[in-house]
Structure 1
């Protein structure tokens, strides 16, 4: 449980910021403590250093015989009174040779041993510590030690001044520093905890929603409570769920449509085969029903081929090989292939293509895929145009594009149908005509192929007035 709690994102954020704040506050406290300690002791340190120098000046006079030991003691006592403290001269064995206190001829306290050793090494320094020089003295002294020479022997000069008042003042200052810092740290800790929870809360909600989504629940959503990066992440997650839900609905619809499209011809084939096998159908009618079976097999073959074609295009497996294509000639060839079927259906097929000798329009296209696009559009026009109608294919240059219009005088489409004609398996004829020759995949394939060849396609239509598809492809500049 503890490990899981420590792995929590908001706990990591909270602890990281809290440790940073603690280190900052500790550093700040140490800085102010050092600053005020140095400030309060500064005057006394300067005074002790000056008086230590005066004592050091007296020692050569003793060696020269200018002053006696008694006069030295008297001078040291005067210096001690000037600092309201005490002065010791300590030999190399730790004995007080001369001083301003009653410790003459005694060994220095053990608490002074470390300072004494530093002095013998030739070091100078200050120490403020709560120690006692004797049983009757008060605790808390500022001590200065410095090396010197007396009669050719090393000695250490000690100057002690009471620092009780300074220590008490420093203690008060430290409390005034530490207490506000502790309250500040507590306040900052609470604020950091709240902020880290607020920051990590939406992430936890997104995690829970993602797990629900993985389990198949597409109703999972994350509440958006802000417009910052976390709020944008929540919005993006909700948008992703919506898209996944739509894709899942599309997938289910696709499977249902495929099942339906496959089931219809298979059911017809199975029924006819069983009927002929059981002799329900007379032998002289076999030829007629075998033609029906052949038609259903072709229907299945078209459906499978369209599905494979669409899958290759959507998965990027279909390689579109672009090369310069003369549209005048490509359109003329396609219209020549479809002229027979239009005559059989009593349709007028018009071509409004510029004369190649006057205007040659060339674009970077895949010849086979372009022929497939144009044939799909023309087959749709043929299917939905009654006998006697007209199908027109027009080619013209417009700005930097080659524009191809495929126009018919057929039954047309309503506005709501125009939005769905690019959907897989959608058939307009389901609602208004019994004809059902197509698979409902043709226009879906057309849209993908046109986009793959860097073109665009649009459609306009009115019920009873026909339909017009407009293709646009970038032209290759003349002389390229």
Structure 2
């Protein structure tokens, strides 16, 4: 976007892309893990603290009920075993004092008329002999019920209390109601102390886990960051960079895959450069010959009676260049899928015999013995005859190119179930294991091939591979020291 300033000049304005806070994987992982950590700790802290509060309130309530039961048992002894009311009251008073001291409680004993008969604790004792204003609660106790409440007696206490009501029977009848009140702040103070200890433990644990999360996130994101940098360098054509892979997890596997990709691209790039160099060399030679002979003819250096001879050389060189160009174009179209197969039935053995006739001259020149081992006279297959002829032609070219003088070439077919296996063997130097791996690659041409192939560019076997791949058939090479080199492929029988 451009704007004009007051001086009339143009000022270019570029929109700057804001960097998002959580754009990196490390920040995303760290934020996610911390979020999960916080939610988890808050959830469990809330659940645990509430559960502990409920447990401690129930625990205190059970203690109060147990003490109320003991006090009620003392009243039941009145009239039994000649115990007087005064001796019973003395023991009750002692139990109440212990209870008040242990739980900081206030204890009431209420008669059927709802009047206070005994009161203890720190609360005002002016309510003694007064009628209580909670008839519904008191009546439930006189009906023989044990009650527990956290509300209902607020007007008698300055702080909330936990109340337990217990019926006292004398002579088999409920004559009194016992109420024990324990201040809730005392209960909550202990609960708050436990919560404080729990919170400190949570903070310490969270701190340790945060450190672990931080370094784990760093460790997880570091190799991905390195992979990103390596991928950018590979995209810019630098295939030498590799990733240090540690472990066996998915990230390590991704790093190994990226290293493998870089190695393969490096090989392809090296083969491409070699291919360009070979093409340049192979094209330059015939072009130089053509230019030299045509120039010599035009300026009269070559006399008219020799024009036919040198024009034929020019024609041969032109045809060689056309063949090179056609090979490149055909391979390109095959890889792009622009050459669909035209499958039909044809006689494989007849095709091989016809193609072998093309090598009659080189057979004589190199004194090569050609053995044809067909499993039967005729063999019908279902494939694209034009493309399969090119496959056989290229493999025979390769065999005659590398066969030693006075050597042997063998063409064999073997029918197995619904397939025909075609073997083309030649005596001569073996192919190294390294060349066997790369011989089918685009742009690859072995050193041995460069020394003997004066007309090709090393893409004949690539065309073979692509053709057999399109037919969904098998293709391979067998080469061991001291044994013939064997190329083989399969076709579907009719």
TM-score (norm 2): 0.67
Q: Which string of whole-angstrom CA distances, capped at 9 and with x for unpartnered residues, describes residues 341-373 of structure 1?
A: 7568876655333553xxx53433221122222
Map of 1:92 onto structure 2: none
Map of 2:385 onto structure 1: 367
Q: Which string of whole-angstrom CA distances, capped at 9 and with x for unpartnered residues, describes residues 14-33 of structure 1?
A: 22222222222222222233
Measure how far apart 1:40 and its partner are. Answer: 3.6
Map of 1:471 onto structure 2: 488
- CA distance, structure 1, for counterparts of residue 258 and residue 216 of structure 2: 22
Establish whether residue 29 from structure 1 lines up as the match of residue 48 from structure 2.
no
Establish whether residue 331 from structure 1 lines up as the match of residue 352 from structure 2.
yes
Map of 1:426 onto structure 2: 445
Change (3 A) 1:101 1:277: farther
Q: Which string of whole-angstrom CA distances, capped at 9 and with x for unpartnered residues, describes residues 426-458 of structure 1?
A: 37776765x724443323323332343303242
Q: Which string of whole-angstrom CA distances, capped at 9 and with x for unpartnered residues, describes residues 99-125 of structure 1?
A: 7799x99xxxxxxxxxxxxxxxxxx97
Contact 2:271 2:444 in 1 (8 A): no
Match of 1:268 among 274, 289, 295: 289
Map of 1:443 onto structure 2: 461
Contact 2:274 2:444 in 1 (8 A): no
Establish whether residue 254 from structure 1 lines up as the match of residue 275 from structure 2.
yes
Query: Is the partner of 2:320 in helix, strand or coil?
Result: helix
1:12-411 aligned at under 5 Å gives the runs 12-42=28-58, 75-78=114-117, 81=119, 126=150, 140-142=159-161, 162-336=183-357, 349-356=370-377, 360-383=378-401, 391-397=409-415, 401-408=419-426
CA RMSD of aligned residues (A): 4.4
- CA distance, structure 2, for counterparts of residue 187 and residue 289 of structure 1: 88
Gaps of 5+ in 2: 1-16, 69-109, 134-147, 164-179
- CA distance, structure 1, for counterparts of residue 404 and residue 55 of structure 2: 106
Measure how far apart 1:473 and its partner are. Answer: 1.6
Gaps of 5+ in 1: 52-70, 88-97, 106-123, 145-158
- CA distance, structure 1, for counterparts of residue 262 and residue 435 of structure 2: 27
Bigger mean CA deviation after superposition, 284-293 or 333-342? 333-342
- CA distance, structure 2, for counterparts of residue 14 and residue 388 of structure 1: 74
- CA distance, structure 1, for counterparts of residue 42 and residue 440 of structure 2: 68
Equivalenced residue count is: 403
Contact 2:275 2:457 in 1 (8 A): no
- CA distance, structure 2, for counterparts of residue 475 and residue 345 of structure 1: 34
- CA distance, structure 2, for counterparts of residue 363 and residue 272 of structure 1: 47
Query: Is the partner of 1:280 in helix, strand or coil?
Result: coil
Measure how far apart 1:412 and its partner are. Answer: 4.4
Change (3 A) 1:76 1:31: farther
- CA distance, structure 2, for counterparts of residue 256 and residue 240 of structure 1: 24
Contact 1:402 1:473 in 2 (8 A): yes
Query: Is the partner of 2:248 in helix, strand or coil?
Result: coil
Measure how far apart 1:173 and its partner are. Answer: 1.8
